[in-house]
Structure 1
């Protein structure tokens, strides 16, 4: 398990961004359900390889249920839940899987990619805050959830059912205040580290693609061409 968790550190941030772009193109232009399924299976294999087993199984299960509903039950006249909902899941599951893998890449690698692009400094600052913000807020949510469990606000299904507004209040109010504070802290930290300085910056992470990156991009390109062309 230790080796699998470290596999994600071998993935370049540029690879994750290109893979996500491939996934978006495939989900827009793919018309063949068979090649679409093959691309999803490829993303499933990637998630497994990089140690994201639980999430990959969840995504694949949801996708297969969606395919079953659209191809088997909808033709029988079953209209609830809405076929439009399952159609959206069918389309969006591909970029979601790729984006989830990209989100697990160390944020410093992704930031290093943006710093090499000809993007205005103000936009880079916004992107850096956004990239750092999501995992930080996720950690804050976990901490709030554990605090609510200790205080007995969640964990009992009856309390959640009979006092939904109170449960929502205990969850939303802390995360709003923490999100505001985290956003300010991240922006201040970025400025202190010189993100808005016009001089050329070097990153701790290398932007060179390794053989794993080239292999993933080559197979993804091949699978994407198959999904779009057939």
Structure 2
């Protein structure tokens, strides 16, 4: 298992965004997903990264084997939807790996070394903590719904839409608002608004592995740019 500087991860996200913008969807998209999968496995997020890769593979097989068999409006709708998914999927997949393998303290220390504006760093730091907390609350809501015999299946929603809405959407909205307030209070308590320069005991610096990983992604990006131009 390896460890990357949080700044390297942000640079990889920027490279992936450029890749999605400039490289047409094709075999290089599959290669890019493969690179992200390897990166996620080496960073210690193997199962979730493999699951995302398998989902991408399933969607790719649909585009190759199922899409040509469909005609008319359904073909156009599915084509547009898959095109959007294939453009966004590498960015979302890598963002999931980055968020899942980066601690807030590491991120804040890295941004302090970059002298990044606090107006940018603080919202991103809150986002890093917000989604895991929201996921935990979502699991609690699902368990409470299961105890009441309410499921999230389309059949249950069609039978009792008002019950599902009351048991799902209202608690999610209330919990999301409460979680945001709690995270804001926690951040203020920890001195996130302190105007002085932040110090940290973490050893945040670029290493050889950071350069090697970024070089691999840049080489694949350059080759894809040349091959598709």
Q: Return the TM-score normalized by structure 2.
A: 0.83
Query: Does residue 1:162 correspond to 2:159, yes or no?
Result: yes
- Long gaps (5+) in structure 1: 1-6
Matches within 5 A, 1:141-156: 141-154=138-151
Query: Displacement, 1:102?
Result: 0.9
Distance 2:219 2:152 in 1: 47
Off by >4 Å, runs of 4+ in structure 1? 67-70, 76-79, 155-158
Distance 1:157 1:32 in 2: 32
Distance 2:209 2:21 in 1: 26
Match of 2:217 in 1: 220
Q: Secondary structure at the match of 2:101?
A: coil
- How many residues align structurally? 220
Query: Displacement, 1:45?
Result: 2.6
- Long gaps (5+) in structure 2: none
RMSD between superposed Cα atoms in Å? 2.5
Match of 2:63 in 1: 66
Match of 1:4 in 2: none
Alpha-carbon displacement from aligned partner over 1:38-84 (angstroms, at most 9, x marks no partner): 222222332344313223222332244335556xx18x755414121
Match of 1:80 in 2: 74
Q: Secondary structure at the match of 2:74?
A: coil
**Would you say the 8 A contact 1:31–1:227 is kept in 2?**
no
Query: Displacement, 1:136?
Result: 0.9
> Alignment partner for residue 133 of structure 1, among 117, 130, 135?
130
Match of 1:40 in 2: 33
Match of 2:94 in 1: 98
Distance 2:117 2:91 in 1: 26
Alpha-carbon displacement from aligned partner over 1:176-197 (angstroms, at most 9, x marks no partner): 1111111111111111211111
Q: Return the TM-score normalized by structure 1.
A: 0.83
